[in-house]
Structure 1
Amino acid sequence: MFEGVLIKMITELADPIQYYLKFANDYINMNQLLDKKIAIKFVKYECLNCHLNKPIYRQGFCKSCFFEIPQAADWIMRPELSKAHLNEEDRDLEYEKKVQLQPHIVYLANSSNVKVGVTRKNQVPTRWIDQGAHEAIEVVEVPNRYLAGITEVALKDHVGDKTNWRTMLKNEIKDEDLQEWKHKLKEFLPEEVQEYYLPNSTELNLNFPVLEYPTKLKSLNLEKTPEYEGVLKGIKGQYLIFEDNTVFNVRGNEGQVVNISVVR
C-alpha cells in the first residue's frame, strides 16, 4: 500500500511513455500496474502550498493560497498577462522573473484536434504528454512568457486552444500534418515574433501505454466516491483509464491525500 498527496504524474519519453506517481517516500511506476486491479481511497486534503488539511480550491491549492501565491496568478493560465519583462510585479517579482524570463515555446499539438499552446522550453515534451497529444511540433521559441502569450492569442483566432478531454481519452483522433499547419499559421504571427519562427522544427509522435480505450466515460470524483477499485487499462495525458470506463484525472485531483494498493 502507498499513501501520499497527489501531484501530477512524472513522465518519461519512451515507447510507450513511462508514468511515475511520486509520493514523499515512494515512486510507483504506473505502467507496471496495467491489467491489475487497484484500489484508490481518499484520506484527506493537503494544500500543495501551506500543507494544511483544507479543501482544495484549484490547481492543488486551498482557496486562500490560490488567491495569494505567485504559482496561481492569472499569468499562469494567460501568459499574455506576464509583466516581468517590464520589471512590474504581480504577486512576487522575483518568482515571476524566474519563470517568465526564460525561453518559451509556442507549439501545435493534436490531442483531440489541432490546438496551439505555450510552455517553457524545459517542459518540452512533458507538456505535450500531459495533454495526451499524439503528435506535436514547435512553432516559435521566444525569450520570455509575454511574447509566447501574445503569439498564442494571435494564433488561436485561426486554430483551437482547448483539448476535448473526452475525445482525447476515447482516442477519436485523426492524424494531422502539423508541418503544414505550422507553415500555414506563420503569416499570423505577431510582427515582433516573426524572427523567432522555427522553420526546421519537426513533428514528434507520442505513444501512450493504453491496452484498451474507453467507449463511454465516467469521471471518478474522490470527494463523492472516496473509495474505488478497478482494473487499470491505460494511462494517457494525466488520466488513469479503468476497465469499467472510469477515468481518473490525477492532475485534476492534486492536493488530495490517497491510499493506493494493488488488489490483485
Structure 2
Amino acid sequence: MQYEGVLKKMQTEIGHPIQYYMVFETDFLNVNQVLDKQLTITFIKHQCLNCGNDRPIYRQGFCRTCFFEIPSAGDWIMRPELSTAHLDKEDRDLEYEKRIQLQPHIVYLANSSNVKVGVTRKGQIPTRWIDQGAHEAIEIVEVPNRYLAGITEVALKDYVGDKTNWRTMLTNTVVDENLVEWREKLRPHIPQEALPYYLSSREETQLEFPVLQYPTKVKSLNLAKTPSYTGTLKGIKGQYLMFEDNTVFNVRGSEGFYVGITVN
C-alpha cells in the first residue's frame, strides 16, 4: 500500500483503543490497521498548509510569510490570555477571531507525563487530550470565551504545570493521579471572573492508546535531516508514531511536509 500527501495532524476517533487516521487529499490511512507492519516514510517536498507553496516550514505547518500574516497563527492561539475579540479589538482579522474566540472554552487538567493545565475550545474535547497523549483528564471550568479561559490558565500555572514532557509520555513512565482532588485543590486560585463557571460534577475521562510496545529510550525522527526512514510501527500516542527501534515521529510537528508512505 502506498500513500502520498502533505502531513497534517492525525484525525482521531474515541474508542478502546483510540482510532487514528492520516487524511490526504484523495485518500486516508487508518493507522491502527498498520500496527506491527513496516512503514517507509519519505520526504518529497514542503507544502505550506496555507499558501500551498513549496517553501520551508517555519511553524505550525506554515511558511514564514504565512505564519506572521494569517489570523490562525496569531499569538493568542498559543497564549489565550492575549485574546481581544471580546473587546471588539482586532489582532489580524476580527471576524475570524470572533468566530474562534467567542465560543465556549474549557480549562482542564490532563495527565500525560505529569498533571498539567490547558485550554481548548469545548468542541475539541476529547480531541485535545488525545493529541497531548493524556491517559486521563478532567474539566475545571467552561467559560464563554477564550480570554476567560486564558486568564484562568495563567492563574493556575502558578500551582500546576502547563507543559508535557513528551519523552516521559512516550515511554509511558507516568503515574495515575486523582484529578478530582487536583481540581478541588486548585479551585481557590481560579480568577473571580471564571469562578461561576466551575465544573464541580465532572468525572475523569480515561483514554486508551493503541500501543503494542513502548520505546525504552526515544530517538526523534526529523525528516529534514533524515528524509527517508523505514521501521516497524509499534504504537500511536498523542500525535506520535512509535517504532520498534525506539524511533518516534511527531506527525503534527511535521505538518507541511509532503511525504510518501509505503506499507510493507
TM-score by length of 2: 0.99
Deviation sequence 1:55-90 (CA, Å, 0-9, x none): 000000000000000111100000000000000000
Deviation at 1:48, TM superposition (A): 0.2
Alignment match, 1:7: 8
Deviation at 1:144, TM superposition (A): 0.1
Alignment match, 1:214: 215
Deviation sequence 1:162-199 (CA, Å, 0-9, x none): 00000000001000000000011000000111100001
Q: Which amino acid aligns with 1:95?
A: Y
Distance 1:193 1:76 in 2: 20
Alignment of 1:44-55 (within 5 A): 44-55=45-56
Deviation at 1:26, TM superposition (A): 0.6
SS of structure 2 residue aligned to 1:201? coil
Alignment match, 2:154: 153
Distance 1:262 1:74 in 2: 38
Deviation sequence 1:201-258 (CA, Å, 0-9, x none): 1100000000000001110000110010000000000000000000000000000000
Distance 1:194 1:141 in 2: 10
Distance 1:176 1:198 in 2: 18
SS of structure 2 residue aligned to 1:137? strand
Alignment match, 1:183: 184
Alignment match, 1:239: 240
Distance 2:136 2:157 in 1: 18
Alignment match, 1:134: 135
Alignment of 1:1-264 (within 5 A): 1-263=2-264
SS of structure 1 residue aligned to 2:193? helix
Q: CA-atom RMSD, angstroms?
A: 0.3
Q: Which amino acid aligns with 2:181?
A: E
Identity value in percent: 71
Specify every segment of 5 or more residues in structure 1 that has no aligned partner in the other structure, as ranges: none
Distance 1:192 1:37 in 2: 52
Q: Which amino acid aligns with 1:142?
A: V
TM-score by length of 1: 0.99
Q: Which amino acid aligns with 1:101?
A: L
Deviation at 1:154, TM superposition (A): 0.3
Deviation at 1:127, TM superposition (A): 0.1
Distance 2:103 2:60 in 1: 23
